[in-house]
Structure 1
């Protein structure tokens, strides 16, 4: 009697910021499309997300760690490499924001934006891309934002961090062309997540306004990543119109428009 064939291991994907919002929706898509997962966030809700994802048949490993610290990035990447499988895809999605006038916001909060949105992304990209190049293939999704294309009055550090990610991703796309490794920038507009509450922006026009479905945004980003496309504008028609307008309006006008959306008290 012949032995049953051993099933090939599933491809491995990693998602940061996976406990809620766009990150959780991306993790659901990876699991539904035959990937095993390493997921990360700093909050305990990550464990609930893992249980749900395992219900879809994916093997899920959890790294509850703060990526603002280099040790958190190291802990996550050690777990990604723990079973020897190559990393097929990674969604660099973790991010944080802060609303308010720059001269009034807490400096520590501004630095947290830089540490999480920029530094953790650079650290993880360095590790992941080197391994992917050695393997000759891999897909990277970077959650940027429509905010990357607008000077962010009353969200100055956040928008600047997303502009960094946009430039960084575009540069790496050129560096890595024809290598088998692709990078995709996901550019959501205002999305129905916990972002605005955490950023203390519920008294702003954008905080109270209509938002896109995070599941739709994640689907658009996932499809673009799997197709090796350079970018995906996530969300509905209003977000796509905003992205198109940002290409032609001068920065001074975009900053004034952003003030109308993000200035504290603009919801009244």
Structure 2
């Protein structure tokens, strides 16, 4: 791997995004990392300790202005790998949620992600070279009762990644969808889901998830569902009626289902 390969990782301050950035750093990529919080500076220091050249960007990735800020820092450097990982969740019943927070989930997970991919993807297309990793989720396989908007955004991203991959077939650009299950990150606390079963039960290691996703991207694979339990869950979801899936999801995500 040439030492001057260049990657952009979003949502890289903590969790899966930070671990993806570590994978890039260890593989010899220079990095621009982005998140909407000050912790992105600390993440940059950690990545520099691995020997990588890192530029952190604190920006609101739910807005076109935030994406433009990120792209401004990237400048004219050719992006060898875009790891579009930024995402937020939101728990509780849809009608009980603040609509401003609903919009932020949609704008971060979908609008901001697509705008960044559109900008970076066009630059890759001109060079006929590049790798794109999109962090979807196994949540996209099931109607997310008490997490309805989030699951809907992940269903969109899962679907979009396969469509984009086909459009870019033979272009020199690969598109890979990383589809983890529940992972031990700040996600559930930030989504106000610590009173739920899924929020309090044991979850996957973000380092393991990121390693699998990074390796799949580098191999040019179409998708990767991480963890045996999650692979079984997605297989079952494909043959289970949506009404039943929604009922099962309620048992995991409804407020008050946390283990005592």
TM over 0.5: yes
Residue 188 of structure 1 aligns with which residue? Answer: 180
Q: Distance in 2 between matches of 1:85 and 1:123?
A: 18
Counterpart of 1:103 in 2: which secondary structure? helix
The structure whose Rg is larger is 1
Offset, 1:242: 1.0
Q: What stretches of structure 2 of length at least 5 have no aligned partner?
A: none
Cα distance between partner residues in 2 of 1:74 and 1:153: 34
Give 1:244's aligned residue: 235
Corresponding residue of 2:28: 34
C-alpha distance after superposition, 1:114-147 (max 9, x if no partner): 0100000110010011000111110000000000
Instruction: Describe the SS at the equivalent of 1:91.
Output: strand
> What is the distance in 2 between the residues matched to 1:80 and 1:93?
17
Aligned residue for 1:193, secondary structure, equals coil
1-side partners of 2:176 and 2:91: how far apart? 27
1:229 to 215, 218, 221: 221
Find the counterpart in structure 1 of residue 11 from structure 2: 17
Q: Report Cα offsets for 1:46-74 as digits up to 9, x if no partner.
A: 11110111111111011100111111000
The separation in 2 between residues aligned to 1:20 and 1:187, in whole angstroms, is 18
Please give the alpha-carbon distance, in whole angstroms, between the structure 1 residues aligned to 2:234 and 2:202.
16
Q: How far is 1:186 from its partner?
A: 0.4
**1:55 equivalent among 24, 49, 63:** 49
Query: Is the deviation greater in 8-17 or in 46-55?
Result: 8-17
Which residue in the other structure is 1:123 paired with?
A: 115
Paired position in structure 2 for 1:3 = none
| Shift of residue 23, structure 1, vs aligned partner | 0.2
Runs of 4+ in structure 1 off by over 3 angstroms are: none
After superposition, the C-alpha distances for 1:101-122 in whole angstroms (9 at most, x for unaligned) are 1111111111100010000011
Query: How many residues in Structure 1 have an aligned counterpart in Structure 2?
Result: 258
Q: 1:223 & 1:266 partners in 2: Cα distance?
A: 35
| Distance change in 2, residues 1:9/1:223 (3 Å) | closer
Superposed CA deviations along residues 3-60 of structure 1, whole A, max 9, x for unmatched, are xxxxx76110000000000000000000000100000001111111101111111110
Query: Which residue of structure 2 lines up, in the alignment, with residue 253 of structure 1?
Result: 244
- Displacement, 1:237? 2.0
d(CA) in 2 for partners of 1:9, 1:31 = 10
**Residue 45 (1) aligns with residue 39 (2):** yes
TM-score, with length taken from structure 1: 0.94
Work out whether residues 3 and 29 of structure 2, in 8 Å CA contact, stay in contact via their aligned partners in 1.
no
In the TM superposition, residue 167 of structure 1 has moved relative to its aligned partner by 1.3
The aligned residue for residue 124 of structure 2 is 132
- Separation (CA, whole Å) in 2 of partners of 1:212 and 1:75: 32
- Displacement of 1:239: 1.5
Q: Which residue is equivalent to 1:212?
A: 204
Aligned to 1:65: 59
